[in-house]
Structure formats: structure tokens, C-alpha cells
């Protein structure tokens, strides 16, 4: 149950770099002034199953959601763009979203799968991302083969609330390494773990959970969290 939703593909101008695509999913009658913008991870795009379920689930709860492609994935390349280009796409998505929504969306939550979330965190730490909260769908805390090389320095400078979703067998985020990072953050945070989940929240068949059920749990937790932070 929930709101009826519509999804429309939009073009997002990215300055002199051309344009990329986005999909704006909206409830027929939006009940929330908060909106969510979602970026994909390094090895996928905005049509990956997790992001589709995430966007549609949140929209059914009354929140407009925009997911978008980085330029490299839009043009069929496998190698991610340089950080500057990734950030340009993030900012372009925010601008396009605000132009479409106008005063209907007064606050923005930035969400991202892996690379997309990491870029959002770096921008939030530098004060250049127009969002007042962050959601990480699998934060890439370290390389797969080096748990000591943490990508955490910018997290300590973030001043807006953060929600982390992490799988307990994610090779890019050892929970033992994440724990002291979270305890050292200078802002409020929440952690929701997916038992048996890998970096994309796939779980062993032995747990008896479908992909739809796992993604549903992520959506439910996100909605609960968004409602708690609505007035902040």
C-alpha cells in the first residue's frame, strides 16, 4: 500500500560536459516537503535493482526521489569519472531537481550506493552539497584488499545526520573498522546492518530472504529515519 507513483526520465545538463539522465519518481500527491536524490555506485547505474526499489519504495511513502547517472555510466564507460566530474554531476542533479520541484521540496537528503555516497559525503564535508542529511547504501570504507587504508578522513568533517546501511560480509566495509569511525563522528548517525549481506546486500540463500525482502527492510528503515529527521 502507499501512494500511487509516476516515474519520468529527465535530462540533466552538466555544464560544458554535456548532459546525463535522471529518473524522477513522484507520489501522485506528495505529502512530504523533504526529497531524496540518489547516486549509483561504481559498477552500476541508476537502473540497478537496489536503487529502483529504494526510489520507488520511498516515493510510495510520499517523498519525491530523483536518481541519476554519472557521466561515465551515461555514456557506457566502465571506468568512473574523476572526482571533479562526479561532483559536477551531483551538483547538476541537485540544480535540476530544484528547478523541477521549486518550493515543493524544501529540504534534500542525499543518498548514494558506494561511490555515489562517498562523493556526497566529501561534498557535504566541504559544504558544497545542498543537502541536510546523508544516506549510505553500502559505504566503501576501504579497498577490498586493504582494510587498513580507510576512506574516512572527510567523514569527521560532516556536520549533518548520516544513516549507514552495511552488509555484515561486505568486503569493502569491515564493521570492526567502521565502529571506531562512527564513534568519532561529530554529528548524529545511525547504522542498520543487513545480516549476511555483501556490498550490494545480496544474502546467502540459507537465510531464506528474497532480494525484495532485503530491499524492503532498507526502504522501511529509511522512511522511519526520514520521518525522525523531518524537522531538523
The whole-number pLDDT of residue 195 equals: 96
- pLDDT number for residue 230: 55
Q: What is the pLDDT of residues 13-72, one digit of tens each?
A: 998 889 999 999 999 876 677 899 999 999 999 999 999 999 999 999 999 999 999 999
C-alpha torsion 158→159→163→165, nearest 10: 10
85-133 pLDDT, tens digit each: 999 999 999 999 999 988 777 899 999 999 999 999 999 999 999 999 9
Which spans in the chain are helix H? Answer: 49-60, 71-74, 83-101, 115-125, 175-183, 211-228
Residue 221 has pLDDT above 50, yes or no: yes
Residues above pLDDT 70, as percent of the chain? 97
Longest dimension (CA), the chain: 50
Write down the pLDDT at residue 231. 47
Amino acid at each position: 500500500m502507499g501512494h500511487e507513483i509516476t516515474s519520468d526520465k529527465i535530462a540533466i545538463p552538466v555544464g560544458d560536459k554535456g548532459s546525463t539522465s535522471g529518473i524522477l519518481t513522484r507520489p501522485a500527491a506528495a505529502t512530504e516537503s523533504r526529497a531524496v536524490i540518489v547516486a549509483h555506485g561504481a559498477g552500476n547505474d541508476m537502473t540497478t535493482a537496489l536503487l529502483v526499489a529504494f526510489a520507488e519504495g520511498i516515493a510510495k511513502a510520499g517523498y519525491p526521489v530523483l536518481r541519476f547517472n554519472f557521466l561515465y555510466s551515461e555514456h557506457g564507460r566502465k571506468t568512473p569519472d574523476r572526482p571533479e566530474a562526479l561532483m559536477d554531476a551531483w551538483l547538476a542533479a541537485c540544480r535540476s531537481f530544484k528547478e523541477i520541484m521549486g518550493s515543493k521540496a524544501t529540504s534534500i537528503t542525499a543518498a548514494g550506493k558506494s561511490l555515489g555516497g562517498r562523493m556526497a559525503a566529501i561534498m557535504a564535508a566541504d559544504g558544497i552539497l545542498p543537502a541536510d542529511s546523508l544516506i549510505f547504501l553500502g559505504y566503501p570504507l576501504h579497498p577490498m584488499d586493504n582494510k587498513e587504508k580507510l576512506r574516512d578522513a572527510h567523514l569527521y568533517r560532516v556536520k549533518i545526520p548520516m544513516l549507514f546501511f552495511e552488509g555484515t560480509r561486505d568486503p569493502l566495509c569491515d564493521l570492526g573498522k567502521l565502529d571506531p569511525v562512527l564513534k568519532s563522528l561529530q554529528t548524529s548517525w545511525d547504522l542498520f546492518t543487513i545480516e549476511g549481506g555483501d556490498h550490494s546486500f545480496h544474502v546467502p540463500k540459507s537465510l531464506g530472504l528474497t532480494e525484495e525482502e532485503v530491499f524492503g527492510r532498507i526502504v522501511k528503515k529509511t522512511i522511519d529515519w526520514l520521518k525522525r529527521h523531518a524537522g531538523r
